[in-house]
Every structure is written in C-alpha cells, then in structure tokens.
C-alpha cells in the first residue's frame, strides 16, 4: 500500500464525486414528485432515503484466500409521519414507477386525507470532513490480498502454538441520498475499510482464540497508520496468552477496564439507554433524568459523529441532519440524549444527528456514532496499584443490554488477576454483568489515555459501524462471571 | 427489470464469456409490519428487497458476485466480477455444482397468505388492548407487533438444476413492560401462524406473567450447582454452539469434533436431530443452498456423534456424501454450512421431575449476550442469566444479574436428564433451534 500508484483523490475531487454520484442516484425533480405522492394523504413529514452500497470482502483461512465477496445493495426507503405515527416502505425497484408505487403505499398506509405540506428541495452541499485518499473500489483484488496476507502471516508465524488463523478485509462504499419535506436534498459517500484477524492457539490440549479488528472511515490509506502485521501479531499474542490461562474466578471485585474497546461497557451500560428509541418509549432507566446525577462525577461521556475519518463518523445522518458532537454526561450529570426526528417529536426535543439505518430496507432510528468516556486525570499506574484483589480487563469482547432494566453483560477476552497492586496471571472465560445505573456510579477512577475501538452495533435499524472508547477506568465493584 | 429477464441476460453473458459451470441464486423477501405503542399504531412498514448471486467455476475456483440492481449493466458486471474474484482464490479444495434431476421430498404444507394491511393493523390494536387488559402493572413501553413475511429462493445452474421455493410466515409478537412502581421488567413472546387464529389471550397472559415474575430478584449465590435450563435457554445455547457440528469448521480446526464420528461426545440421554421438515417451522426446505436434497438426520444419537453437517465441498474433503446442509445467510453470502430445525430430542421426564432430580440448584429461564459471552471455537461460555433458585426440588426465589459459566463440550457430557417438553421457541427462519428442559451437573454460578 505504501507504494501504491493509484489515483489519489483530493478533497475537492471527493466533493465533486459525491455531488455527481448523488445526482446520478435520484434527481431533485424526481424526489419532489415522489415526496408529493408520499405526502398526498396528509403527512406532516415525508422523506426519501436511497442507498447504493458496494461491499467487497476478501477472506482467508488455512493460509489461503478462500472467498471473495462482491455485492451491490441498492434500494429506496420512504417514510411519512403524521403526528406520532410513522410509516416506512421500501423497494428495490428504483424506476420512477417503482418509486411512485412505494410512495403511494406509504401514503395509503398513513390513512385518508389531503396534502398538507409543500415540497421544495434545496440541494445541500456537504462539507466532507472525512476525506479518503485510496478508494478501495478502485484497487485491484491482488493489491488488497497483499495487505491482508501481511497481517495474516504475521499472526500465523507469530508462535508455533498458533494452529489456525482467519483473516478478513472488508471495504464498503456506501452512497446515500436523503430528501425530505423540510427541504433537505443531500448526498454523502461513506467509505469504510476494516481488517479482522482471528487466531487460534493450542497448548496442552487447550484451545483459545485472539482477535483484532481495527477499522476506519478511510480507504486503504488506513494501513499507512496501522501496520497490517501489527493487527495479526495483536490477535496471535492474545490467543497464545489465553491458551496458557486458567479460568477466571467468580465473584464481586474491583475491575480495571483498559482503554479503547473497553468503552463497550459505556456503550452497553448506558449508551443504548440514552437513545430516544428507548427514552421516548418508556424503555429507559434514564428517562426524565436530565440535569440529575446519574454517574460518578469522574464521568463525562460524549457521542461525536464529527471525528474526522473515525469508524462511526458521519457527515449527515440518515435523516439529513448534520453530524454533531453531543455531550451526554458531564461530570456525572445527564446533559442530553441521542435523538432522531420521531423520538424528538415524542420528547419535544430537536434531533441530534444520531438517526441511522443499515440500508433502505431498515426503518431508521436513534443510534450511536463514536461514543466515549472522556479522558480523566488519574494515571493507569495509580489504577492498578489501587487494587488489592481484582481483575484487569485488558481486552473486551461484545456485550448486550436490556434498556428496560438496565441489565448488561459483556465478555472479557483477555483478562489478568490483580493482587496487591500488581498485574498477575492471565485468566480466561470472564464476563462482567451489572446494572447500568449502578456501574456508572461505581466508576471511581478515570485515566487520561483515551482511545477508541471499532464495532458493528446491531439494533432495530440494522447493523451499523460505531466506535466505542474510553481511557482506562476503575469500577470499584462489579460481578465477575467465571468459575 | 424482472428476475426472469435478468436471469436470461446473465446466462447469455456467461455463455459469451465461455463459462461451462455457473449458478444463479435468487432470493427476494417482502413483508408488512404493524407496531402498536400505547393504543395506537405508531409504526407501519412495507418492505421488499432481494437480489441475485452469480457464481462460476474458473480453473477449479468458485468466484462470486451479487447485485440487487437487476439491470443489463449489472447482468454483465456480476459475471465479470465473479470471474475476476475467482482469479485471486487460492484454496485448493475442489468446488462443485449440483446436477439437476435429483429427487426431492415434497413440502406438505400450504403457504398461508399475507394478511391485508388493514386486517393486520386491526388485529395488532386488538391484541395490544388485550395486553394492557391482562394486568394493571402493564405500563408504557409495551408493544404488540404483527408481521407478515414472504420470500422466494430460486436456484438454477448450468448442470440442469432449476429449483424454486416460496414461503410465508405470519406472526404476532407482544412485548410486555410491567412495573411495581419502582422496578420495571419486560418479556417478549412470539407466536407464528394465522394472525386471526393465534390465541392472543394466552400469548399476552404469558408475556405479562413472565414479565411480572421478573420484577425484583437478586443475584444467585456464587457456587457450583446442578442447573436446569428451560427450553428457551437451552435452545439459545444450542444455537450459539451449533457451529461445533459444522464439517468445514471441524476440518479447519475450529471445532473439536474433527474425526469424532462414532465416538461418544455427549451423555447417553442426548440425541440431537436436524430436521428440514419440522412441522413447527413454516420454512421447511426440500433443498439446501446448493440445491442438494435435504433430509432429517440424527446428528448425535444417545450421546454418539453420528455425523457432522456437510455441504458438497466439506463432504468431499471428508469422503462422505453431502448431508444437504449447504447454507447462505443471505443471497450474496458464500456457501457455508448450517442446520435447519436442530433440536435436542425430548426425553422421558417432566420438568418437575428434573427439578426434583436437581434437588438444590439453579433454574435458568433466559440467557443474554450469547454473541459475546460464548466462544463457539473453545466451547467456553460465561453468560448473564435469569431464573430461579431450586430448593428441595422446587423453584423458589427469583434470581437475576448473575452468570452461569462452563464449557459446551463438557456440558453435553454432563446432561443427566432431558425433559419431555420440546419447544421450538422462535421458528422464524430456515435455521432455528429447539430443546426440552435439560438438567446439567456442575455449572459455575457467579452472583453475590
């Protein structure tokens, strides 16, 4: 990659391409016509969302490229609102007749009535804050395979205990268009690249796994900053360490959760419960708590869709609202929620640039972008040395939450026991469970080393890229599942 | 353009490119959904999607490309892309397409029709009313959702295969949120079938009853216990770990069952069946994702592993015939392996008898975070759980916010009794899982 002779696409070129591509997707005139049909039975809001997305995946196992997947996902979703009711229809038929049919279906489902709103679209120029240099779609398979192999074999050859490695390189070229009755007519091109390496190690009959999967809203230039080999080595090291680990003891103890993907604890324990899809529908423990202390004063948490080139970043959300930086919790006090237009109607609040959907066939809703606990003032060393007996959770797996009760769980994929302020032996099979409102109050130390990790977040509007993040934190007491 | 016209263009392009072996796989889905919140329909949707996957064999490698845009440009493009993608493949395992003219088990069920939008809306509002009427504790956040889905899968290839299957699923789901003034709890229940015929009283009462029983509660005391998993919790575990029966995963060192056919891998009370025609699953399939005929089989019989699951490639590598378990997650996915309705066969005991046998232990009704707290390769799991303490053979205190941990390979051997209450909790796809209640010795519980 570092010696690629590909066309380098500058900032202005990127804007031009976005605009041109957008115009190719659906013209302003066609969108106006379709929105008029959609709103013809009395809707007070009508919206068209179109996406044309090219997914490209290269997969390796047993040291060979065994699958290459190439697919084009393209279609249109139409939504209409009337008061607190919403109707969503979608189609793969993007001909004018197909779109009109889809709009009629939405209008009929909304009910009987006459048009209440006028449709006038104004093309919106988006400032692309996530410029991409090496567009993956313009690169040959062979060049991408070379990058994947660098990571793959770094893992395979890291240690003789490594028995199997799988590797995936995914690039997504996601073009969206949003047109709505508020006059928005906007397009965005979201290019994302991600590599995932998973390694299996076997020692003395025990099998364990390690994985690493960095991604970004960039093209192949992401591998200039992250050496592919480092991804493989990260995965392999973890597998080897864990293969030599015993089971984590069960109990209630203090836990130091490392920076980066450790932020999944906030994502699960709190983030989902601050989405308007929970708050506005009586399914959040944090409803009606604005201005109240919901976390320890050490905790400031932010959802920021505007971090340049970050995995969860957007220029506009999937309702056309520009991405924003939203402070959710400041020094423990609840400051805001993540709100889409319909959630905003129920809550009497404005949309916050958090409306997202996987693609046209999913009804959009409030989702996270890049969500993190802000840097604090403690040091990592102080956190570890403060613990007489506890767990150091170096690497987290995923987790889940029930926003109604706030009960969450997540997996520790690489953990170590801490005794007398020292990191000791590795332990496997640990998970952390608790209640969001409790764990937020129990975060009693926050270090200064903020970092992010990448994930795909699954919810009612599909699977979307989100960043989680935090500095190292200490939770004074939490249930550790083990044996 | 329509699929049939698109298919002709793809075939013409494949022939023009001199391809001798290729396949066209088409999948389309459409559906309607109405959701009630409070006493109104707050969401209604009507969606359709679908696309075509083209794959072809070039110099012994199988290349894939897919599209949802059925246009002349894309018809040519997917053929070219699939050929290009084949050219970078390195895996040396032979690849195959199925020949036409094989015998398939006919599907005995009729597809119900999808309800009309207004009928669905009315029924959903009616059920939502019943949900609120079940108990004064039912509160804001409770929903009823009605769903009607139809889909079609069609596969044709250059070897004379030409298969087509349409299916429909109608269902009502209720989500009850209850409160006792301070605490909140919820439960979801789903019932498949004709939405007018579904016993909505029973469904709403069940969701409300379970939600009420989840109020309050405390973590179970930390320790090692006999554990009774209810059918839903055990189905979820089987779902999470079903990959251990994947023939390809075994060949690649991702399952410990490699070469274990004929060996005892579970206690002798355990029989695991894979059934493409299970009467409770509306999506019966007489052919798999490669077009091979499907059949019912014992994967584990009285504790002995009888077979792993195979598609054409993994079967060839293992020197056996395909088990008809080729699978695609979506039309554009590469062919992998999955079961159809995989379930543990019912045993001879009632659930009450399992509780008696357990004596003092933990009853687990639901597990959370299975995508995170379980490792399908190692078999390890540590999962957030909810259920009851078992004391003197009876369910007693409600417990939640604790974990149960173990290893699935060990768990299979430690199942000491299987109940007769086989349930398929959520038969909403080609692949689904079921189980009766089971009693497992020696699982670690972490709580207070």
pLDDT tens digits along B13-59: 999 999 999 999 999 999 999 999 999 999 999 998 899 999 999 99
What local confidence, expressed as pLDDT, does residue A1 receive? 28
The pLDDT-based confidence of A24 (bands split at 50, 70, 90) is low
| Cβ(A75)–Cβ(A92) below 8 Å | yes
Residues of A in contact with B92 (CB under 8 A): 64
pLDDT band at A9 (very low <50, low <70, confident <90, very high): very low
pLDDT attached to residue A19: 36
Structure tokens at A425: 């032996």
Which positions in chain B touch A428 (Cβ < 8 Å)?
380
Query: Does residue A18 register a pLDDT over 50?
Result: no
Domains by residue range for chain A, with CATH: 11-243 (3.30.2290.10), 247-481 (no CATH)
Pairwise CB contact (< 8 Å): A433 & B254 = no
More confident: A124 or B299: B299
- H-type alpha helices, B299-350: 312-318
With 80 as the cut, is the pLDDT of residue A139 above it? yes
Q: CB count, 10 Å around CB of A308?
A: 11
Parallel, antiparallel, or unpaired: how do β-strands B22-37 and A443-446 relate? unpaired
- Which percentage of chain A shows pLDDT scores above 70? 95
B439 domain-assigned: yes
Is the residue at B4 inside a domain? Answer: no
Residue B404 forms part of a structural domain: yes
Cα separation, B249 vs A99, in Å, equals 44
pLDDT for res A21: 41
Contact present, A92 and A119 (Cβ < 8 Å): no
Interval B365-418: pLDDT, tens: 999 989 888 888 889 999 999 999 999 999 999 999 999 999 999 999 999 999
CB-nearest to B88 from A141, A208, A285 is: A141
Across the interface, do A250 and B68 touch by the CB < 8 Å criterion? no
Q: Is A271 helix (H, G, I), strand (E, B) or coil?
A: helix
- Structure token digits, residue A412: 């520790």
- DSSP-assigned beta bridge partners for residue B273: B298, B343
Three-class SS string for B95-163? CCCCCCCCCCCCCCCCCCCCCCHHHHHHHHHHHHHHHHHHCCCECCCCEEEEEEEEEEEEEEECCCCEE
Q: Is residue B339 one of the residues assigned to a domain?
A: yes
3-state secondary structure string across B155-209:
EEECCCCEEEEEEEEEEEEEEEEEECCCCEEEEEEEEECCCCCCCHHHHHHHHHH
Q: What is the pLDDT, as a whole number, of residue A2? A: 29
What is the largest distance, in Å, between two alpha-carbon atoms of chain B? 75
How far apart (Å, rounded) are the C-alpha atoms in residues A216 and A235? 18
In a domain, B106, yes or no: no
Q: Can you tell me the mean pLDDT for B182-194?
A: 92
Would the pLDDT of B78 be above 50?
A: yes
Q: Which band of pLDDT confidence, cut at 50, 70 and 90, is reported for residue A317?
A: very high
Is B387 inside a domain boundary?
yes
Q: What is the pLDDT of residue A399?
A: 84
Cβ–Cβ below 8 Å for A163 and B87:
no
Question: To the nearest whole number, what is the mean pLDDT of chain A?
Answer: 92
**Nearest Cα to Cα of residue A247 among A457, A452, A430:** A430
Which residues are registered as beta bridge partners of A38?
A: none
Nearest to B362 by CA among B397, B322, B331: B397
Q: What is the pLDDT of residues B109-119, one digit of tens each?
A: 888 899 999 99
Confidence band for A404, pLDDT divided at 50, 70 and 90: confident
In this structure, the dihedral spanned by the alpha carbons of residues B156, B162, B165 and B166, taken in order and rounded to 10 degrees, is 70
> How many domains are contained in chain B?
1
User: Could you tell me the two tokens for A155?
Assistant: 């893992």
Q: Between chains, do A252 and B46 touch, taking CB under 8 Å as contact? A: no
**Which of A61, A64, A482 lies closest to B382 in CB terms?**
A482
Are the CB atoms for A263 and A453 separated by under 8 Å? Answer: yes
Tokens representing B440? 């497992």
Q: Range with the lowest mean pLDDT among A402-411, B60-69, B272-281, B428-437?
A: A402-411
What pLDDT does A6 receive?
A: 28
Spatial distance between the Cα atoms of A6 and A11, rounded to a whole number of angstroms? 16
Complex-level ipTM: 0.87
Task: Name which of B63, B70, B369 is nearest A68 (Cβ-Cβ).
Answer: B63
> Between helices B3-16 and B72-87, what is the axis angle to 10°?
50
Q: Note the pLDDT of residue A186.
A: 95
The proportion of chain B whose per-residue pLDDT surpasses 70, expressed as a percent, equals: 100
Which domain, by its residues, includes B333?
223-446
Shortest Cα distance from B139 to chain A (angstroms)?
A: 8
Residues A48-74: what's their mean pLDDT? 95
Cα–Cα separations (whole angstroms), residue A231 to A149, A215, A415: 11, 11, 19
Pairing assessment for the beta strands A325-330 and A422-428 based on DSSP bridges: unpaired
Rounded mean pLDDT, A380-399: 95
Going through A258-361 in order, the beta strands assigned E by DSSP cover 301-304, 325-330, 333-334, 355-356
Instruction: Tell whether the model's pLDDT for residue A177 goes beyond 60.
Output: yes
Q: Does the pLDDT of residue A48 top 60, yes or no?
A: yes
pLDDT of residue A13: 36
- Give A208's contacts in chain B (Cβ within 8 Å): 378
**Apex A99 CA angle, A94 and A100, nearest 5:** 155
Whether the CB-CB separation of A15 and A154 falls below 8 Å is answered with no
Within a domain: residue B55? no
> pLDDT confidence of A17, banded at 50, 70, 90?
very low
Q: What is the pTM for the complete model shown? A: 0.90
Looking at the complex, report in whole angstroms how far the Cα of residue A10 sits from the nearest Cα belonging to chain B: 27
Token digits for A258?
């490392």
In whole angstroms, what is the distance from residue A329 CA to residue A341 CA?
Answer: 21
């Amino acid at each position: 990659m570092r010696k690629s002779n590909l066309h380098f696409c500058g900032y202005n070129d990127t804007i031009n391409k976005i605009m041109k591509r957008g115009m190719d997707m659906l013209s302003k005139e066609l969108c106006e016509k379709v929105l008029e049909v959609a709103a013809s039975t009395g809707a007070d809001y009508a919206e068209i969302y179109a996406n044309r997305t090219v997914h490209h995946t290269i997969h390796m196992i047993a040291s060979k490229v065994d699958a290459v997947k190439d697919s084009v996902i393209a279609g249109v979703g139409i939504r209409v609102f009337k008061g607190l009711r919403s109707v969503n229809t979608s189609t793969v038929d993007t001909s004018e007749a197909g779109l009109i049919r889809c709009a009629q279906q939405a209008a009929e489902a909304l009910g009987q009535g006459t048009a209440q709103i006028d449709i006038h679209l104004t093309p919106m120029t988006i400032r692309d804050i996530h410029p991409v240099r090496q567009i993956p779609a313009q690169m040959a398979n062979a060049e991408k395979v070379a990058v994947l192999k660098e990571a793959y074999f770094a893992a395979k050859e890291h240690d003789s205990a490594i028995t199997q490695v799988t590797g995936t390189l995914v690039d997504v070229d996601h073009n969206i268009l949003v047109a709505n009755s508020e006059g928005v007519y906007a397009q965005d091109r979201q290019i994302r690249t991600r590599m995932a390496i998973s390694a299996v190690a076997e020692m003395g009959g025990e099998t364990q796994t390690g994985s690493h999967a960095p991604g970004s809203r960039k093209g192949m230039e992401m591998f200039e900053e992250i050496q592919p080999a480092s991804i493989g080595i990260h995965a392999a090291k973890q597998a080897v360490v864990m293969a030599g680990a015993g089971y984590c003891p069960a109990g209630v103890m203090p836990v130091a959760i490392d920076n980066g993907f450790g932020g999944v604890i906030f994502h699960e324990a709190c983030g989902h419960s601050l989405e308007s899809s929970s708050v506005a529908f009586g399914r959040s423990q944090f409803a009606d708590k604005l201005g109240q202390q919901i976390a320890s004063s050490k905790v400031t948490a932010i959802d920021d869709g505007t971090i340049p080139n970050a995995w969860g970043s957007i220029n506009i959300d999937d309702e056309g609202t520009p991405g924003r930086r939203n402070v959710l919790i400041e020094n423990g006090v609840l400051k805001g929620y993540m709100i889409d237009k319909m959630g905003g109607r129920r809550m009497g609040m404005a949309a916050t640039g958090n409306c997202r959907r996987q693609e046209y066939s999913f009804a959009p809703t409030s989702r996270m972008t890049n969500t993190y606990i802000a840097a604090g003032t403690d040091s990592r060393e102080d956190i570890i040395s403060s613990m007489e007996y506890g767990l150091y959770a170096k690497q987290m797996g995923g987790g889940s939450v029930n926003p109604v009760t706030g009960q969450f769980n997540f997996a520790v994929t690489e953990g170590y026991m801490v005794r007398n302020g020292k990191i000791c032996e590795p332990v496997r099979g640990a998970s952390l469970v608790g209640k969001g409102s409790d764990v937020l109050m129990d975060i009693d130390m926050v270090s200064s080393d903020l970092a992010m990790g990448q994930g795909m977040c699954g919810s009612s509007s599909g699977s979307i890229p989100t960043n989680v993040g935090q500095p190292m934190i200490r939770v004074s007491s939490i249930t550790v599942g083990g044996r | 353009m329509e699929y049939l016209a698109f298919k002709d263009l793809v075939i013409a392009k494949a022939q023009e490119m001199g391809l001798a072996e290729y396949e066209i796989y088409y999948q389309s889905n459409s559906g309607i959904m109405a959701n009630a919140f409070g006493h109104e329909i707050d969401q209604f949707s009507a969606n359709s999607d679908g696309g075509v996957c083209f794959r072809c064999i070039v110099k012994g490698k199988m290349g894939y490309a897919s599209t949802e845009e059925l246009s002349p440009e894309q018809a040519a493009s997917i053929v070219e892309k699939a050929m290009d993608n084949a050219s970078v493949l390195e895996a040396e395992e032979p690849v195959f397409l199925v020949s036409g003219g094989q015998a398939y088990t006919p599907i005995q069920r009729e597809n119900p029709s999808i309800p009309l939008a207004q009928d669905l809306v009315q029924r959903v509002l009616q059920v939502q009313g019943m949900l609120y009427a079940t108990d004064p504790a039912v509160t804001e956040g409770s929903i009823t959702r009605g769903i009607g889905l139809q889909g079609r899968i069609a596969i044709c290839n250059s070897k004379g295969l030409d298969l087509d299957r349409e299916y429909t699923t109608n269902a009502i789901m209720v989500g009850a949120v209850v409160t006792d003034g301070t605490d909140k709890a919820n439960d979801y229940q789903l019932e498949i079938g004709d939405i007018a015929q579904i016993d909505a009283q029973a469904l709403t009462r069940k969701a409300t009853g379970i939600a009420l029983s989840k109020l309050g509660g405390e973590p179970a005391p930390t320790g090692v216990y006999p554990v009774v998993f209810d059918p839903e919790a055990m189905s979820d575990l089987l779902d999470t770990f079903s990959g251990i029966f994947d023939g390809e995963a075994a060949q690649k060192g991702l399952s410990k069952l490699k070469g274990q056919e004929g060996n005892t891998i579970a206690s002798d009370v355990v029989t695991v069946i894979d059934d493409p025609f299970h009467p409770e699953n509306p999506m019966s399939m007489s052919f798999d994702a490669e077009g091979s005929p499907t059949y019912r089989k014992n994967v584990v019989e009285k504790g002995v592993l009888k077979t792993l699951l195979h598609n054409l490639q993994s079967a060839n590598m293992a020197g056996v015939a395909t088990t008809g378990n080729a699978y695609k997650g979506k039309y554009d996915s590469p062919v992998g392996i999955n079961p159809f309705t995989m379930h543990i066969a019912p045993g001879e005991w009632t659930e009450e008898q399992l509780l008696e046998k357990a004596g003092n232990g933990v009853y687990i009704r639901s597990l959370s975070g299975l995508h995170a707290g379980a490792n399908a390769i190692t078999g390890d799991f540590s999962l957030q759980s909810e259920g009851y303490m078992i004391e003197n053979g009876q369910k007693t205190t409600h417990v939640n916010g604790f974990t149960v941990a173990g290893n699935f390979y060990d768990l299979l051997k430690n199942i000491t009794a299987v109940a007769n209450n086989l349930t398929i909790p959520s038969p909403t796809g080609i692949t689904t899982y079921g189980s009766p209640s089971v009693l497992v010795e020696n699982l670690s519980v972490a709580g207070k």
